[in-house]
Amino acid sequence: MADKRAVGHAYNIDFLNVVFAVSSLFVLFTTVWMIWDDYDREWKNYQRDFTVLEMEVTRAGLTQAQQDIDQARVAELTAERVVAEQGLASNATQMDELEADLAEIDRELFVARQTYQFTKANYDVDRYAFEVRREEAHAEDPEAEVSGEAAVTALYEEWLAQGLDVEALSARRDGVRGQLASLREGVSGIDEELASLTAEIERLADVVADLEPSLIKNLLNAPMLDLMAPTLTVRQTITPNILDDVNFTVVPKLDRCETCHLAIDRVGYENYPQPFRTHPNLDVYVGSASPHSIESTGCTVCHEGMGQSISFIDASHTPATETQKAQWEEDYHWEESHLWDYPMLPTGMVEASCAKCHKGEVFVPEADNLNLAYGMYERAGCYACHKTAGFEGLRKPGPNLTKLESKLTEEWVANWIRDPRAVKPSTWMPRVWYNSNTDSPEDAVRNEVEIDAVVAYLFANSDDHEFAVANPGPGNAEEGQRLVESVGCLACHITGDETREAAGPRRTFGQPLQSVGSKTTVAWLFDWVRDPRHYNADTFMPDLRLTDSEVADVAAYLSGLTGGTGTGAGATYQAADVDAVLLDYLRAIVPFEEAQAELAAMSADERQLDLGRRAIGRYGCFSCHEISGFEDTQAIGTELSAEGSKLLPQFDFAFMHEEIPHSKRDWIKSKLLDPRIYDRNRILQPLEKLRMPNFGFSDDEARLLTTAVLSFQRDVQPKVAQVPRSARKDAIIDGRNLVRRRNCVACHEIEGDGGNYRDLVEEPHLAPPLLTPEGAKVQPDWLYAFFRDPITIRPWLDVRMPTFGLDDAHWNGVLDYFAAISDAVGPFRTHEAVADATELRTGEELFDLLRCQQCHVLDTIPEGQDLATLAPDLRMSPERLQPDWVLEWMIRPLDIQPGTNMPNFFTEYPGSFYPQFDQDAVAQIRSIRDYLWTFSGGPSPVRGN
Amino acid sequence: MDAIKSFIDAFADPRLFFSLAVGSLALVVWGHEAFASKRWGWGLMAFLVALFGFGLTDENFNLIITKPDNVPIVGLIFLLLFFTWYSVRQGVLNDRRIAAGKPPIEKDEEDRVWTWPDLVYTELIAIVICTIIIIVWSIALEAPLEQPANSANTPNPSKAPWYFLGLQEMLVYFDPWLAGVVLPTLIIVGLMAIPYIDKNPKGNGYYTFKERSVEITLFLFGFVVLWSSLIVLGTFLRGPNWNFFGPFEYWDIHKLEALTNVQLSEVIWVQLFAVALPDSWFIREIFGILLVIGYIAVLPVVLAKKGLTKYYEKLGPVRYYVTVLLFLSMLSLPVKMLARWLFNLKYIVSIPELFFNI
């Protein structure tokens, strides 16, 4: 230390020494703290924990493999090997000689190869040098002689000669090796088999050895030293075709989720807690053979969240349930992410992301939540008010109101729109008035004024409707009930007290029939059921081809379904109240004086009608219903085509910021549960209030619809990330949409989805048929004719195929779809089967032997036949079925239609149980098919029933 | 507790905040003798700690001050108080010595010290302490990884870096060309000009208050009130839509403030003369233009004749004018604030035809 002279010191050096010592200690502590902080990172601890778990699981696997091994076979092989070894002893001398030879040859070969390679290297250098020299000389004098070419050529010759040496030596070596192998043949074969038996054990043993803790590994992962080559590393996937939109450009996605989710793609970790659990569906996601492998798809394109982050909170994890949320708040101090625009979707909503790549598909295979959500979105008619890409050009979801007068009374309509669910608890019709921002006593008068005005407008603008049959006879209600419950009405309509949620969008595709008797008259019901298109040419309700007396029965039954008359008026009002409300509407568009003048010019009736028109316009009734006077009016809702991409700050939580968590999904869900919720505690003039009606969604319905809304996103993912489009793919997508938008799937199972009608019949075989293989199974001409004019194929079924009255474009779409899903698109196929007489005889005999007719009854079904054993009339075959398909069908009926009653007669295919016929199964099946093709005279849609 | 918070929130208003800052400065200058005592220094520091301690119990306040970006400003408040107090105290102590006929403390000390250990050693210690602070800071306050910047989504409120929040506050009262270009330039130029303007050797190399009381007051007004207190205001009390929020108030994006400001031309023509605004912008704004010219050109001359004659004589015309112009520019902010608060005055000169407003 410097000498302490009296002058020249500003500080007490002893004091400075103390300060320095203390601060040095602190810097040491903080440095240690810093290193520890890095060592103690969340993901490193997860990886350490996983090492232990992985060890445990692999050891268990190893033990299992050791148990599973065929011990007897191993012992047997080992014994055989001993014997074989002994056999080798006699050749020991010869083998030793050969081994010695081989060693000598290997040595020579090494030298020869090296010489050969060195010569080549020298030759290349000399040649190049000569080339350059010659090039330079020729540049000055093209005729100049350049020496040295001979030396280069000589070197080349030398190199070739050395190559021959190498080849000769290699051949000698192979010869000796061959001799050795043939001497040792017995043993090496046994060794191979032993190795294949124990391969799994050895692989697992190697893994265990790798996982064993070791000093080296500990050193590599030690604090500070882990900067070099730690085994604990951040693991990431970069997906070149899946992009992140970073606003100014797009970049490949970078996901580091695997850093903690270490077993996400590994079988065997299904029951371990997160983050070490295997993905629940490796066949479809993550797995390397799945269509969405982790290398091609990554994680966050589906799950959302911040893929680059390796901390639980920053990755924007989102809890799936309230319990989980509470747990996370305790464990991780979790809170809703504000630093990432797209926080992870909770488990129940992840399928919203499917639509990023599966564009315009209303049905995405395996995405059950999303499919149901889209079904609900259409059924609730969200798209009618909210323009949505992919849902354009659809019909108006509500009934046509242009001929209201023939069907309903004003009182019923007023009670209905006052609270639809009080009349039919499972209706999709929402409540427009008396919602959370209009249900105070002060609002009642205005509500009633508007309701009555709307009703008055609808009735004043109702066209006449003439019933097709003037005085239908009385029907039998009991018979009507039987018909309704058996012919298929229940596929689209519910009659009982089922909730809308339980029935689902498919079984509420048509209006619920609860209290339909209190709603309308028998006469109207008769007219409607008899021919729905007579009342509304655009209806989706098909014709079930009932006779007039059956229709009368149905009408009698339906008119007996009385019940809920709804809620009565909440207030009475005077003419002055109508004027006041109308004036309010008028003032919003014209100056006050003008509004008053306009009002004064109208009679009381005119005022009410004008108000009705304006109220319908304001609440958007016309979006869902055909209403005269609103043919060209634009929908009133916000467009939702990119709602899922909208950023959180653009959602207005108003005064609900305490009650509703700050996330898009909570905002949307709360809006769905109470569409007027964001008006709460606000002072608003009547025309400023929110006007989305209340659908009474259950929590789960709201969750699904939120999923649908979140799935509407702006395009970010490139074409290469999407399923390649082709004519076939287009046919599939259009077809999938069509069979859902017409509710075919309520009755028929197609592509593993639908067939809900099965739940309504006692036995599965009494349900409408599965249509997945239809394209391969039936001839398109026949199917087209069948669609146009269905015939009875399965007489034992009560449920029947309705006549839909679709146009050819639609039917062709369905045919293309069926062909595409059963891979039957292709060149023209013949429907003709050419056969010779012998074959036909064999076919006939087999037909009798296998007793095909016992189930496939030809013509009239005998009395007392067990319905469960019936199958279609085979006389239809030549006209109806594809000849090739019939062959397939007989070989593997259960594969084509799981659960079918058709037995497999050829389980030993191509062998046969019927050796008496001088043919194999291939020919036998063919001859049966050919025999079928001689049939004729069955029911036919082509020629008429 | 809640009553106190509501009380504080109810009074939260830029006018009150600014008046409080000016008032505090006036008190410090007026009572600098008392302010320099250790009791006051520690007392104020304790008061500040108590204030933040109390504030931490509140969810909304907590959210603001524990945000990693805002932590430096919390530190700034404490440091600002400490250094203001320290400099005043040192000045007051020296003033007492000078009054008693003794030289200032600094003159008593050696004017030369050893490079080693005095200089290098203290520098080393400073380095070590800074290292500690930076390491601890980086461990304790992690920088978050945020979403990619989005030009289509402006954060609300959009705040400048903390050291520019004083400038941003000026935007409430001035057009961007003034608040963002002219005034900051004048600040920088003015700071550079100080050594050439102020040739007074008093206070060189030692603390004093009495000998330089006017300069110190002016500096404290400019730095503590106009610059630092506006940073604090901008950080803690400005919320969504740049509305003013009490420290314990929820930053509700829907909060509204009635915008009922008027232009000077409207006051003069419509309210005073009771005629419609003239069509020509020049005639319409003539009074404002005259007022501005009067403020920057005539006022210095008037002040030279009366009021600041002493300075005019001491500095000479050029230095006098530069000084007064800088001083008037600085004062233009509080002048504009007062005009806004008292008369709802938006612009003195407002020529939207030329995108020119003062």
What gap in Å lies between CA A741 and CA A728, rounded to an integer? 20
- Residue A568, judged by CB atoms within 10 A of its CB (0-12, 13-18, 19+), counts as exposed
Residue type (1 letter), B194: I
Strand partners, B262: B345
How far apart, in Å, do the first and last CA atoms of chain A sit? 118
Q: In terms of C-beta density within 10 A (0-12 exposed, 13-18 middle, 19 or more buried), how is residue A405 classed?
A: middle
A727-749 pLDDT tens trace = 889 999 999 999 999 999 999 99
Structure confidence at residue A935 as a pLDDT band (50, 70, 90) = confident
Q: How far is CA A862 from CA A5, A793, A849, in A?
A: 130, 16, 20
Total Cβ atoms within 10 A of residue A404: 22
Annotated domain spans of chain A = 71-183, 234-344, 404-624, 724-821, 837-932
Side chain identity at A564, as an amino acid letter? G
- Chain B residues with beta carbon closer than 8 angstroms to that of A37: 139
CB–CB of A298/A286 below 8 Å?
no
Q: Measure CA of the first residue to CA of the last residue in chain B; give whole Å.
A: 44
- Confidence category of residue A1, pLDDT binned at 50, 70, 90: very low
B135 and A33 in contact by Cβ < 8 A?
A: yes
A247–B148 CB contact, under 8 Å: yes
Q: Can you name the residues that pair with A285 across neighbouring β-strands?
A: A292
Question: What is the pLDDT, as a whole number, of residue B126?
Answer: 95
pLDDT exceeds 50 at position A4: no
B344: alpha, beta or left? (left if phi > 0; alpha if psi -120 to 50): left
Q: Does B135 touch chain A (CB under 8 A)?
A: yes
CA distances A651 to A385, A667, B252, Å, are 19, 7, 13
Rounded distance between C-alpha atoms, residue A900 and residue A883, angstroms: 20
Q: Which residues of A889-909 are buried (b: 16+ CB within 10 A; e: fewer)?
A: bbbebeebbeebeeeebbeeb
Residues 224 through 263 of chain B touching chain A, CB cutoff 8 Å:
250, 252, 254
Over residues B249-292, the pLDDT tens digits come to 888 888 888 888 899 999 999 999 999 999 999 999 999 999 99
Amino acid at A327: Q
Instruction: Output the CATH code of domain A724-821.
Output: 2.60.40.420
Residues of B in contact with A647 (CB under 8 A): 150, 153
Which segments of A620-722 does DSSP mark as H helices, in order? 621-624, 664-673, 699-711
CB distance from A20 to chain B under 8 Å?
yes
Residue to test with chain B: of A12, A16, A38, most B Cβ within 10 A = A16
pLDDT (0 to 100) of residue A747 = 92
Percent over 90 (pLDDT), chain A: 57
- The residue of chain B with its CA nearest to that of A654 is B254
Yes or no, beta carbons of A339 and B144 under 8 Å apart: yes
Place of tokens 């003195």: B348
CB of B77 closer than 8 Å to CB of B230: no
Paired tokens of A566: 């709804």
Contacts of B108 in chain A (CB under 8 A): none
Burial bucket for residue A882 (CB in 10 Å: 0-12, 13-18, 19+)? buried
Res A79: pLDDT: 87
Residues 6 or more apart from B297 whose CB is under 8 A from it?
Answer: none
Q: How sure is the predictor about A827, in pLDDT bands with cuts at 50, 70 and 90?
A: low
CA distances from A646 to A306, B85, B103 (A): 17, 51, 70
Assign a CATH topology to domain A404-624.
Cytochrome Bc1 Complex; Chain D, domain 2 (1.10.760)
If you average pLDDT over every residue of chain A, what do you get? 89
Backbone angles phi, psi at A706, to 5 degrees: -60, -40
Closest CA to B97 of B201, B208, B205, B200: B208
| Neighbour-count burial of A151, counting CB atoms closer than 10 A to its CB (0-12 exposed, 13-18 middle, 19+ buried) | exposed
d(CA B355, CA A605): 56
Mean of the pLDDT values across residues B298-316? 90
Instruction: Reply yes or no on whether the pLDDT at A610 is more than 70.
Output: yes
- d(C-alpha A473, C-alpha A82), whole Å: 97
pLDDT of residue A83: 84
What angle is formed at CA A429 by the lines to CA A427 and CA A435, rounded to 5 degrees? Answer: 115
Contacts of A245 in chain B (CB under 8 A): 148
Q: Which one, of A686, A643, A627, lies nearest residue A382 by Cα?
A: A643
Burial class (CB in 10 A: 0-12, 13-18, 19+), A723: middle
Under 8 Å between Cβ of B18 and B226: no
**A634-638, A813-817, B139-143 — which is least confidently predicted?**
B139-143
- What number is the average pLDDT over the span A898-914? 79
Q: Given CA atoms A346, A348, A352, A358 in this order, what sign does their dihedral have? A: positive
Assigned token pair, B297: 């050109």
Q: Give the whole-angstrom CA distance, residue A259 versus residue A46.
A: 8
Indicate the DSSP class of residue A431.
B
C-alpha distances (whole Å) from A344 to each of A263, A275, B168 are 19, 15, 36
Question: Quick one: pLDDT at residue A346?
Answer: 94
Mean pLDDT of A641-647: 92
Q: What is the structure's pLDDT at A936? A: 83
Task: Copy the structure tokens of residue A338.
Answer: 């504000």
- Both tokens of A850, joined, read 């296998």
Tell me, yes or no, if A485 comes closer than 8 A to chain B by beta carbon.
Answer: no
How many Cβ atoms are within 10 Å of A571's Cβ, its own excluded?
14
ipTM metric: 0.82
Could you tell me if B250 and B63 are in contact, meaning their C-beta atoms sit under 8 angstroms apart? no
Beta bridge partners of A753: A750
